[in-house]
Amino acid sequence: MNAYWPAPDAWQQALRNAITDPVELLRQLQLPLSLSNGDAQNSFELRVPRALVSRMKPGNPKDPLLLQVLPSAREMIATPGFSNDPLAELSTNPSAGVVHKYRDRVLLITSGGCAINCRYCFRRHFPYQQNQLGPEQWQRALAYIDANRELSEAILSGGDPLVTPDTRLARMITDLAGIDHLKRIRIHTRLPVVIPERVTRSLVEALTATRLQAVVVLHCNHPQEVDDSVRTAITRLREAGITVLNQAVLLRDINDSVVTLQQLSETLFEVGVLPYYLFVLDPVAGAAHFDISDSEAQKLIGELQTRLPGYLVPRLAREIPGRPSKTLLPPDQTDV
């Protein structure tokens, strides 16, 4: 049993040891230092756990994992329509740390931090300082959920909620389980992919000891992100009866091909994960070079649908501020 679980603090050490210096990253990958950009690094610093770096291919400046994290000069080109708050989250904050946009589910900003800084992140400009859930804000968030009887699901999000220590997560889950009308707890996290040791025994216990049904939604964009250590982490969740889904972001030069998307779905399913959403990019300043047009995205998903069983085709979606749910983009099969 002991060999089955990672050391309880291994993930925190991996978090602290993440690479934040582009020079170190590029040296390790035997790539020219000119690939990185100082202004982009200053506006949103590089952060990548070593476990993910070990899955990058040395000598490949176009490695799909590298392109997700390396500060690039292309981020400094201002593009009309790409802004700092593309999802208008600042106007849907009923209480600090609470984002309530959809009727039956509420999102709680559990942590401002992440294990990794993804260059396309829609929250790269989000003012987390005003939105931390400290003890007082937490009580107010609980009161808000308690007073909204239509809510059936609480989503721990961030940043990455699994940057939070297990003891605190366990207390939060216990508090939420005390609200009768909640049925489910959902965790949106990239940590089991980028630091697989994060799936500790105490985390799994916190998610199974509760009456709430637990759902973990991973964020994985490319099949190369999944290795044996990720498989092991997901197995720990699945063996405990936890539903594990994945959402990906459609990113130019990273996963914008039918072959890559097909491999992503198949690789995820092999390790016990069902695809959930494939998001088109949120128009966040600094990420325009990752953008794919809606029509290209709809053609990709239309073709993907001809190559995979329905349950392995993610829903192509976008978040449009003011809508009562995510907005689905229909597959286009006119040229297939």
Task: Name which position in 18, 114, 264, 287 contacts ligand SF4 (CB under 6 A).
Answer: 114
In angstroms, give the least distance from the CB of 155 to ligand SF4: 13
**Residue 184 or 307 with smaller CB distance to ligand PLP:** 184
Nearer to ligand PLP, 107 or 163 (CB): 107
Q: According to CB under 6 A, which one of 121, 162, 185, 199 is a site residue for ligand SF4?
A: 121
Nearer to ligand PLP, 94 or 134 (CB): 94
Instruction: Kindly tell me the burial class for residue 175, based on how many C-beta atoms sit within 10 Å of its own C-beta (0-12, 13-18, 19 or more).
Output: middle
**CA 309, CA 198: separation in Å to the nearest integer?**
31
Q: Where are the beta strands (DSSP E) in the chain?
A: 98-102, 105-109, 153-157, 184-189, 213-219, 243-249, 274-279, 315-318, 327-328
* 121 binding partner (options ligand SF4, ligand PLP, none; Cβ < 5 to 8 Å by kind): ligand SF4
Mark out the alpha helices in 116-180 (DSSP H runs). 135-147, 166-177
- Is residue 313 exposed (0-12), middle (13-18) or buried (19+ Cβ within 10 Å)? buried
CB nearer ligand SF4, residue 116 or residue 155 = 116
Select the binding partner of residue 102 from ligand SF4, ligand PLP, none (C-beta < 5 to 8 A, by kind): ligand PLP
Kindly state whether residue 144 participates in binding ligand PLP, applying the rule CB under 6 A. Answer: no
Beta partners for 210?
none
Query: Is residue 105 near ligand PLP by the rule CB under 6 A?
Result: yes
Work out whether 326 is an interface residue with ligand PLP (CB under 6 A): yes
CB of 237 to ligand SF4, least distance (A): 18
Using an 8 Å Cβ cutoff, are 109 and 97 in contact? yes
Task: Write the CB contacts of 277 (distance below 8 Å, at least 6 apart in sequence).
Answer: 247, 248, 314, 315, 316, 317, 326
Q: What is the DSSP letter of 57?
A: P
Q: Which is nearer to ligand PLP, 51 or 248 (CB)?
A: 248
Q: Given candidates 48, 52, 107, 287, which one binds ligand PLP under the rule CB under 6 A?
A: 107
Residue of the chain from 5, 102, 128, 144 that contacts ligand PLP (CB under 6 A):
102
CB of 310 to ligand SF4, least distance (A): 27
Would you count residue 50 as binding ligand PLP (CB under 6 A)? no
Q: Which of ligand SF4, ligand PLP, none binds 306 (CB below 5-8 Å, type-dependent)?
A: none
Query: Distance (Å, rounded) from C-alpha 264 to C-alpha 270?
Result: 10
Name the strands in the sheet holding 327-328, side by side, starting at the edge strand that comes first in the sequence. 98-102, 105-109, 153-157, 184-189, 213-219, 243-249, 274-279, 315-318, 327-328
Tokens read off for 19: 């690479």
**Of 118, 151, 237, 254, the one binding ligand SF4 by CB under 6 A:** 118
> Which spans of this chain sit near ligand PLP (rule: CB under 6 A)?
99, 101-102, 105, 107, 155, 319, 325-326
> Which spans of this chain sit near ligand SF4 (rule: CB under 6 A)?
114, 116-118, 121, 123, 158-160, 190, 219
